[in-house]
Amino acid sequence: MEGSNDNKETVYGNFINTIIEEDLADTSKVVTRFPPEPNGYLHLGHAKSICLNFGLAEQYGGKCNLRFDDTNPAKEDTEFVNSIQNDIKWLGFDWEDRLFFASSYFDKMYEYAVQLIKKGLAFVCDMTAEEVRLSRGTLTEPGKESPYRNRSIEENLSLFERMKNGEFADGEKTLRAKIDMASPNINMRDPVIYRIAHMTHHATGDKWCIYPMYDYAHPVEDAIEGITHSICTMEFEDHRPLYDWVVNNIDFEVKPRQVEFAKLNLEDTIMGKRYLRNLVETNQVDGWDDPRLITLSGIRRRGYTPESIRNFCASVGVSKANSVVSLAQLDFFVREDLQPKTPVVMAVLDPVKLVITNYPEGQTEMLEIENHAKDESFGKRMVPFSRELYIEREDFMEEPPKKFFRLAPGKEVRLKGAYFVTCTDVVKDENGNITEIHCTYDPATKSGLDFTARKVKGTIHWVNCATAVNAQVNLYENLVVADEASDNGYSLNPDSLKIVTAYIEPSIRTVKPMDRFQFMRNGYFIADSKHCTEDNLVFNRIVSLKSSFKPSK
Ligand code: ATP
Ligand code: MG
């Protein structure tokens, strides 16, 4: 498996480590969970949560459960359940035999609700949702108690059972926790913990017509599974007193503790599942795995490695303060991971023809070129060279500025692994566009010979015209751009995908989908998993070579 984790010493937790070490005499007893709702594909924000939850368990030799939070009776989405499992495995984490579904606890959740009623801590309320909302009060004013708050335990038990038996319509009754309508925390003002919804659940079918609310269900799920630390994002901080209330008022063996951390926010990126889902469903992108998306399947198809994502998540750290992480930081870890393990080939993305006028017509020679600049174990390959080559259009300038060390009239450069060439002439079409660059080569400068008579500053890549392989290359920019006129502050970037036809040296013919290469000087590329075939090569640019991010050590 690609994501096997050989980097076990990576620490994801920080202040959470401290909490765990204070709470548990034996930290190997730590149990965490990752609790996705199966209503979309996972994104990079989820990766942070996965790395944190599984990472902590791994670090202490504890356990991390995968629990699908499917308490909402929504339509069955095995596609999401499967994709989520794939993505977690790809990231390199393993829940072993601990795959759970919250819906499988519905019976116990009901029993515990009965327990609360029997303790006088919950009541059946006949107020409508609107009435409950209006009586809740504000941050500065207390709420008003429900007129049904003092029903007897017997009446509550009977009504709750009748709710379960389907005797009431949706919204007609709720079960509410009896806490404190004057609490400064609005979440504690007799929150609804069960609602009536006559809906078919994908796992439990029509067995239930009452469903638990998240704030009640989640602590119960955690307690049932023996979770010691329930790690969630900051928006649940105000819900923690209710979490604790549920945990403390039901007779659980293990009382889980909720710990919040700040969500991952990425610069110029919209992370929410709802937004992503809309892009997919309205066909504005090529599926959930479009390489421009920050879904984990998009990132995988884009060519990012699981190691780079884990290193990135570790570098971001865990804190309670909201911050926005730059895309350059993400790219840095992708590049850093790819550099030592990716072979280099030559590809020209924006070609112009280079004709070596003193090279014999009809001759082709094979040049031996190393597959990696630093690591000899990558070996060498033979690359054909002849009189007509493609070079990158931007590697030539007719009127170059001072520090331009590439090709220009009268200037000499090195062709990677080949010879020095000197530009003698340019050929243009009737519109003044350059169609050919003419040059001469010096046989004495052949790569590998001991030539020291003169030096050149620039080395450029090239591809032999006669043997070049055509490929579609997808170049990406950010998917969204700032747009003040739009609701969320962003609109789709019309230039987020640029498709070019590249010429690549013939060694590329044996490529398989998901193979990665550095195209010399152009960045890291991956053969597209969806569209790349033997007859129709398609590459995605993973990341360019230039970095503006410096990690703090
Ligand atoms: P979204 O807002 O994208 O729909 P969600 O929080 O509703 O995400 P869930 O499936 O409920 O999605 O999330 C599973 C877990 O992932 C939760 O514990 C949640 O807190 C965590 N999570 C979601 N987004 C982020 C993020 N940006 N950074 C860190 N953790 C996140
Ligand atoms: Mg959610």
Nearest to 469 by CA among 501, 497, 499, 517: 501
Distance (Å, whole) CA 384 – CA 497: 32
pLDDT exceeds 70 at position 151:
yes
% of the chain surpassing 90 pLDDT: 93
Span of 171-175, 290-294, 317-321, 375-379 with lowest mean pLDDT: 317-321
Write the pLDDT tens digit of every residue in 50-66: 999 999 999 999 999 99
Give dist(CA 65, CA 225) in Å, integer.
8
| pLDDT greater than 60 at residue 471 | yes
CA distance 198 to 210: 7
Q: Which two tokens stand for residue 162?
A: 């009748």
Tokens of 517: 């290469």
Closest to 141 measured CA to CA, from 97, 181, 173: 181
Q: Average per-residue pLDDT in the chain? A: 95
329, 552 Cβ separation under 8 angstroms: no
**Residue 37's CB: how many other CB atoms inside 10 A?**
17
Average pLDDT over residues 360-378: 97
Higher pLDDT, residue 163 or 2: 163
How far is ligand 2, taken at its centre, from the CA of residue 37, in Å? 6
| Confidence check: pLDDT of 5 > 90 | no
Determine the Cα–Cα distance for residues 151 and 156; give it in Å rounded to an integer: 6
Pairwise CA distance, residues 381 & 367, whole Å: 8
**Mean pLDDT within 235-258:** 97
45 lines ligand 1 (CB under 6 A): yes
Please give the pLDDT value at position 76.
67
Number of alpha carbons in the 13 Å side-chain half-sphere of residue 237: 9
- Residue 162 pLDDT greater than 60, yes or no: yes
| Direct distance between the N- and C-terminal alpha carbons of the chain, in angstroms, rounded to an integer | 30
AA letter at 110: Y
Q: What pLDDT score does 549 carry? A: 78
Distances (CA, A) of 81 to 72, 92, 99, 202, 212: 14, 17, 11, 12, 21
3-state secondary structure 309-325: HHHHHHHHCCCCCCCEE
Whole-angstrom distance, CA of residue 32 vs CA of residue 37: 16
CA 441 to chain centre: 48
Which residue's CA is the closest to the ligand 1 atom numbered 10?
A: 36
CA of 24 to the centre of ligand 1 (A): 26
What's the rounded mean pLDDT across residues 89-111?
A: 98
* Dist. CA 397–CA 403, nearest whole Å: 12
Instruction: Report residues near ion ligand 2: CB below 5 Å.
Output: 37
Q: Is the pLDDT of residue 3 over 80?
A: no
Looking at the predicted structure, is the pLDDT value of residue 10 above 70? no
Burial class (CB in 10 A: 0-12, 13-18, 19+), 410: exposed
Ligand 1 atom with minimal separation from the 271 CA: 3
As a whole number of angstroms, the distance between CA 246 and CA 217 comes to 9
- Is the pTM higher than 0.85? The answer reads yes
> 3-class DSSP state for residue 400?
coil
Rounded average pLDDT over 163-189 = 98
Question: What is the percentage of the chain residues whose pLDDT exceeds 70?
Answer: 97
In whole angstroms, what separates CA 472 from the centre of its chain? 25
User: Does position 9 have pLDDT exceeding 60, yes or no?
Assistant: no
For the chain, how big is the Rg over CA atoms in Å? 31
| 488 confidence band (pLDDT: 50, 70, 90) | confident
Q: Is the CB of 49 under 6 A from ligand 1?
A: yes
Residue with CA nearest ligand 1 atom 27: 45
Residue having the nearest C-alpha atom to atom 13 of ligand 1: 36
| CA 200 – CA 206 distance, rounded (Å) | 5
Predicted pLDDT at 548: 76
- List CB contacts of 225: < 8 A, sequence separation 6 or more: 31, 33, 65, 67, 98, 100
Helices and strands, number each (H, E), in the chain: 12, 29
Mean pLDDT of 210-231: 98
Q: Is the pLDDT of residue 463 over 50?
A: yes
Best mutation site among 12, 41, 49 for ligand 1, i.e. most ligand atoms within 8 A of its Cβ? 49
pLDDT of the residue at 8: 40
In this structure, which ligand is nearest to the CA of 269?
1
- Residue 164 C-alpha to ligand 1 middle, in angstroms? 31
Label residue 13 by pLDDT band (50, 70, 90): low
- Cβ 315 under 6 angstroms from ligand 1: no
Longest C-alpha distance within the chain, in Å?
Answer: 103
Tokens 């030096």 sit on residue: 455
